[in-house]
Structure 1
Amino acid sequence: MRTLVLGGIRSGKSRWAEEAIAESVGPGAQVRYLATGAAADDASAGSDWSARVSAHRQRRPQNWTTTETTDVATELRQFGGTPTLIDDVGNWLTAAMDRREAWEHRGPESPVTDDIVDLVSAVGTFGSPLVLVSPEVGLTVVPATASGRRFADALGTLNQQLAAACDRVVLVVAGLAIPIKPERTP
């Protein structure tokens, strides 16, 4: 079962995702948590970011393994048999855009297209419960800068492709999950 959890900032999407994967694998089961944001001890991230990362860490059961990485596709391929939660896809995309210097790119093809295809492919072949958390595009103002619009466009494309690759998609609003693509039962 692959689940995409969408929502706005502070919507409760991460908490919902953590509860969903814990419920799907049962109490005490091993879960691999792929954290895609900067580490909390990164001084450039600021104290607000550190507080957010710390809150996420404190919520996780002690038996979960946390890996801080932006190489999500490789991690999914290497650990395909371990239930996994990815939090979050927006941070992963930011790192990919940084790595590809995509913020100022002008042209028909996005520099992160290959990264997106690789991630979606890894998600589509993952063989264990998988929950991905991603910010939903369009729940805020249209970005005022060209680079902000590039990010929103790339994230919208990525979310659509992940939704197609996932068995279930939910939108979390005020901590409540609204089914967008319900799980199919045989």
Structure 2
Amino acid sequence: MRSLILGGARSGKSAHAEGLVARAEPVRYVATGRRNPSDDDWSSRIDRHRDSRPAHWLTVEVASAADLVAVLSDSHRGPTLVDDLGTWLTGAFDDLAAWDSPRGTVTPAVDALVDVVARYTGDLVMVTPEVGLGVVPESAAGRLFRDEIGSLNSRLADQCDSVHLVVAGLAVELK
């Protein structure tokens, strides 16, 4: 079963996703937020998020966009939870120094992720931000991210058995 959990910032999407796998064992949690030594606030957020998860969950931190594809290429006996694809896509842009590049520069990384998700045979839950419900971002980089995450979300939703949208902690099943 492949599931995609969409929602805005602080919507409860991660908590919903964690609830979907909480009773299964062993859970493999794939964290896509990369540590930045110059950002203490971000490091604290990562630590708080990690400390909130059950200690017996296997946590895998990815350091590059390709790492997520490699992790999902390896089978796992229990469910795998990926949190979140927005930070993964941000890392893909960073890996390629592509923030000022044309749309489609990250397409090979996105294609590789969509392909590995399509072939994934175990239980997979992926968390991703739903963007584009508000104003058009002011910066070119913001518009680029919005366009690319929207495309990624659509492509992954097509590959998933279930898709949920989380708003104010409430999940609505879309698929």
Given that residues 28 and 76 in structure 2 are in contact (C-alpha distance below 8 angstroms), is that contact kept between their aligned partners in structure 1? no
Q: 1:154 to 1:170 in 2, by over 3 A?
A: same
Retained in 1: the 8 A contact 2:26–2:77?
A: no
Q: Which runs of 4+ in 1 moved over 6 A?
A: none
Distance 1:91 1:119 in 2: 14
Task: Give, in whole Å, the separation in 1 of the partners of 2:100 and 2:50.
Answer: 34
> What's the counterpart of residue 73 of structure 1?
69
Q: Deviations over 1:36-62 (max 9, x none)?
A: 0023xx432332x23422332122111
Q: Does 1:143 align with 2:137?
A: yes
The alpha-carbon deviation at position 139 of structure 1 amounts to 3.3
Q: Does 1:31 align with 2:24?
A: no
CA distance in 2, matches of 1:43, 1:141: 32
Tell me what 2:86 maps to: 90
Preserved contact between residue 34 and residue 85 of structure 1 (Cα < 8 Å)? yes
Cα distance in structure 1, aligned partners of 2:73 and 2:122: 11
Quote the Cα distance in structure 2 between the aligned partners of 1:172 and 1:145. Answer: 26
Candidates 26, 47, 52, aligned match of 1:54: 47
Structure 2 length-normalised TM? 0.92
* Equivalent AA in structure 2 for residue 88 of structure 1: D
Give 1:126's aligned residue: 120
Could you tell me which of 166, 172, 175 is aligned with 1:178? 172
Per-residue CA deviation, residues 44-97 of structure 1 (Å, 9 max, x unaligned), is: 2332x2342233212211111101104111100023544200000001101111
Aligned residues: CA RMSD? 1.5
CA distance in 2 between counterparts of 1:76 and 1:180 reads 24
SS in 2 for 1:44: coil
Q: Tell me the SS of whatever aligns to 2:22.
A: helix
Number of aligned residue pairs: give it.
172
Q: Please give the alpha-carbon distance, in whole angstroms, between the structure 2 residues aligned to 1:136 and 1:176.
A: 14
Q: Deviations over 1:138-159 (max 9, x none)?
A: 1343210111111110000000
Residue 48 of structure 2 aligns to which amino acid in structure 1?
A: A
**Cα pair 1:6 1:133 within 8 Å, conserved:** yes
Percent of aligned pairs with the same residue?
Answer: 48
Describe the superposition over 1:84-117 as per-residue Cα deviations: whole angstroms up to 9, x where unpaired.
00000001101111112221113xx611111111
Superposed displacement of residue 125, structure 1: 1.1
TM-score (norm 1): 0.87
